[in-house]
Amino acid sequence: MGYSDPLDQPMPAAEAVRRLHALLERAGITDDIVLVGWSMGGMYSREYYRQFPDKVKGMVLVDSSHEQQLSRMGDPDVGYVNPLRKEQYLAPFGWIRLTGEVQEQFAKSPLPAPIRERLIALKLKARLPRTMIAEGVGFRADLRAKKTPPSLGSLPLIVLSEGKPNDPFMQEHLQTWFELQEELAHLSTNGRHIVATESAHAIHRTQPELILSSVQQVVLAARGSR
């Protein structure tokens, strides 16, 4: 998404990792990597470790998806019609831009004006709905595969999970979500689970200091300071 090249096919985690690895190599980042993965990014982080275990020195998972959540929690999207399906056909003709709905979405945003304007510009890109749909299809294919999350050995690991969900489905299944997050923390013998008691899924918006602190702790642990 954003300024990346558009995707015209679903992208599973293995392909996302291949692209990330190529990007890091181009940037000269080839070792001592600490990955921070939010939501489906947590699955991408673990897949990166599965493919390149020697390169990863630490990990922070932020309300991360779990490879088996679909089979163990049920499907929250049964009967749901994704509005992006319509937008992918309308956006190239300028319909989304003309309606002003994106600008309205950010009208009361507390974000600084330059960031708000950048987000509006990105969301108005005609290819965005198509790319998001392709990403979602790949993600759900990964979930339907019901893989077992890979062992992370003794990797420094902190797992943050939401403690104040605002989504009715998550409120109903919060205990199962906690169990899945605990499992993720136990993928490493050096793992820890922390509940973000004041946050729903977007912990980076409501408790950013918790993520910053977790990253600092993992980096220190990876450097051998603790």
Q: What is the mean pLDDT of residues 141-155?
A: 95
3-state secondary structure the chain: CCCCCCCCCCCCHHHHHHHHHHHHHHCCCCCCEEEEEECHHHHHHHHHHHHCCCCEEEEEEECCCCCCHHHHHCCCCCCCCCCHHHHHHHHHHCHHHHHCHHHHHCCCCCCCHHHHHHHHHHHCCCCHHHHHHHHHHHHHHHHHHCCCCCCCCCCCEEEEEECCCCCHHHHHCHHHHHHHHHHHHCCCCCEEEEEECCCCCCHHHHCHHHHHHHHHHHHHHHHCCC
Q: What is residue 20's predicted lDDT score, i.e. its pLDDT?
A: 95
| Residue ranges covered by each domain of the chain | 1-8+77-145, 31-67+147-226
Q: What is the mean pLDDT of residues 2-10?
A: 80
Q: What is residue 91's predicted lDDT score, i.e. its pLDDT?
A: 85
How many C-beta atoms lie closer than 10 Å to residue 66's C-beta?
22
Question: By the 8 A CB rule, do 123 and 89 touch?
Answer: no
Q: What is residue 2's predicted lDDT score, i.e. its pLDDT?
A: 78
Higher pLDDT, 120 or 225: 120
Dihedral over Cα of 15, 18, 22, 25: its sign? positive
Q: What is residue 88's predicted lDDT score, i.e. its pLDDT?
A: 84
Lowest mean pLDDT among 28-32, 65-69, 91-95: 91-95
Q: What is residue 78's predicted lDDT score, i.e. its pLDDT?
A: 67
Q: Does domain 31-67+147-226 have CATH number 3.40.50.1820?
A: yes
Q: What is residue 204's predicted lDDT score, i.e. its pLDDT?
A: 96
Q: What is residue 154's predicted lDDT score, i.e. its pLDDT?
A: 96
Q: Give per-residue pLDDT as tens, 179-204.
A: 999 999 999 999 999 999 999 999 99
Determine the Cα–Cα distance for residues 10 and 6; give it in Å rounded to an integer.
11
Q: What is residue 5's predicted lDDT score, i.e. its pLDDT?
A: 80
Average per-residue pLDDT for the chain: 92
Instruction: Give the predicted TM-score (pTM) of the model.
Output: 0.90
Q: What is residue 225's predicted lDDT score, i.e. its pLDDT?
A: 53
Q: What is residue 3's predicted lDDT score, i.e. its pLDDT?
A: 81
Does pLDDT of 226 surpass 60? no
Q: Give per-residue pLDDT as tens, 95-127.
A: 888 899 899 989 988 889 999 999 999 989 888
Higher pLDDT, 93 or 183: 183
